[in-house]
Structure 1
Amino acid sequence: MTALVAVAHGSRDPRSAATVHALLDVVRALRPELDVRGSFLDLSVPLLGDVLRSVRADGHRSAVVVPLLLGRAFHARVDVPGAVADARLPDLDVTIADVLGPDPRLESAALRRLASVGVRSGDRSLGVVLAGAGSSHGPANALVSSIAARWAAGAGWAGVEAAFAASAAPDVPTAVGRLRARGAERIAVASWFLAPGFLPDRVTRLAGPDAVVAPPLGADPEVAELVLHRYTSALCDVPVARTA
């Protein structure tokens, strides 16, 4: 059977890798017959190339790399294909699946995380910041903004604003200020991050001590289902990229 090799960005914060491994434990529970392995692009181990080599050494002839990335920014467009190519495994057929976002299951997970810290729809005194990493790739930021606009139209809050931890505007204090100007008496932050780390912590600091901050998406069952969906789709569809 074709192995599933999930690849996350990686972080010096050990909570990040622990969260990725917890998510993959949920994936394994959903598909116990599947060989599921975790890897990272940088800063954490094992690296993607090393895992692909171990997959080949264990007898697999094919693998699907599933990027645990929420949008198609630089890491998805450049780093993942580059790491696959650098592994130099012409006898391992490697298909790169699509990134996780956009998908309604991610939004559901983010809303569940908000609910876990007491946030409910229909509270007109509440403003919500949907906080993502930020990217120099405009479409990746536009994805987060489009989700915020959709929530603003239907959740019944005082407002919803997208904000970014780096590389894009608006930043979190600007988004909070806009919500306050619309009459929001309290602020909640929804996380558009898969795992804890430096940028989610930065969002928390910038949101201020009175803000309620939801945890990252983490080991959510729907996120695990989405990982498997990307794997299955890659097996059925035209490959995004292959080693040669």
Structure 2
Amino acid sequence: MIPLITLSHGSRKKSAAAGITALTHEAGRMLETPAVEAHLELAEPSLDQVVATLSAEGVTRAALVPLLFSNAYHAKIDVPEAVKDASEKYGVELLVGPHLGTGSDVVSVLAQRLRADAPAGTHVILYSVGSSHVSANESVIDLAHTIALLTGYSIEVVPATGGPGAGGAGVIE
């Protein structure tokens, strides 16, 4: 059985890890395969640590899904570099799937969760990391707009960082 690795960016917020852990666990349960999370930075375990562990367990191939909404810097540069480095270092073939994206499947999941969890009239903030790629930011803004149309909730995109097209002023903690 080929294990699944979910690869998130990682966050300084300790509470973010719980969501990634839950998502990874549920994906593994649904696929009936072992699943483990990894992070590019700011959280543990790193992809290198995960692949080292899998290699030590005799794993030679694993599926990897980047948990990224847009096809910007992390998807184009960081993920391929981390995959190449870990794969070459430990001899594990990493079968990389596409990033999550902002397509109808993601819209459906987020709209369903919103309807189930948020009272009517709730103003929703979609807190994205943001990007220096305008098209990446615009895809998240389009995602929020589509979810708002489907659910009737008002949704605002507030990126933590990012340049033009980021959709908001950012959040300072």
TM-score, normalisation: structure 2? 0.80
Please, which runs of 5 or more residues in structure 2 have no aligned partner? none
Identity %: 31
Matches within 5 A, 1:5-24: 5-24=5-24
Paired residue type of 1:81: P
Q: 1:57 to 1:114 in 2, by over 3 A?
A: same
Q: Contact conserved, 2:51 with 2:90, CA < 8 A, in 1?
A: no
Moved over 6 A (4+): none
> What is the CA–CA distance in structure 1 between the aligned matches of 2:21 and 2:36, rounded to whole Å?
9
User: Who is 1:54 aligned against?
Assistant: 53
Cα gap change, 1:171 to 1:133, in 2 (>3 Å): same
Written as runs of structure 1 = structure 2, the 5 A alignment for 1:206-217 is none
Please tell me whether residue 167 in structure 1 is matched to residue 162 in structure 2.
Answer: yes
Query: Unaligned regions of 5+ residues in structure 1, if any?
Result: 121-125, 173-198, 206-244
Note closer, same or farther for the CA distance 1:154–1:90 as it changes in structure 2 (3 Å cut). Answer: closer
Q: Give the direction of change, closer, same or farther, for the CA distance of 1:90–1:49 in structure 2 (3 Å limit).
A: closer
* Length, aligned pairs only: 169
- Within 1, Cα distance between the matches of 2:12 and 2:125? 26
Q: CA deviation at 1:100?
A: 0.7
Residues 71-115 of structure 1, C-alpha deviations (whole Å, 9 max, x = no match): 112111111111122223363212221111123232223323433
**Letter of the 1:3 counterpart:** P
CA gap of 1:2–1:114, structure 2 versus 1, over 3 A, is closer
Task: List aligned pairs for 1:49-198, cutoff 5 A.
Answer: 49-87=48-86, 88-89=88-89, 91-115=91-115, 116-119=117-120, 130-151=126-147, 162-168=157-163, 169-172=166-169
Query: What's the TM-score once normalised by structure 1's chain length?
Result: 0.59
How far apart, CA to CA, are the structure 2 residues paired with 1:163 and 1:14? 20
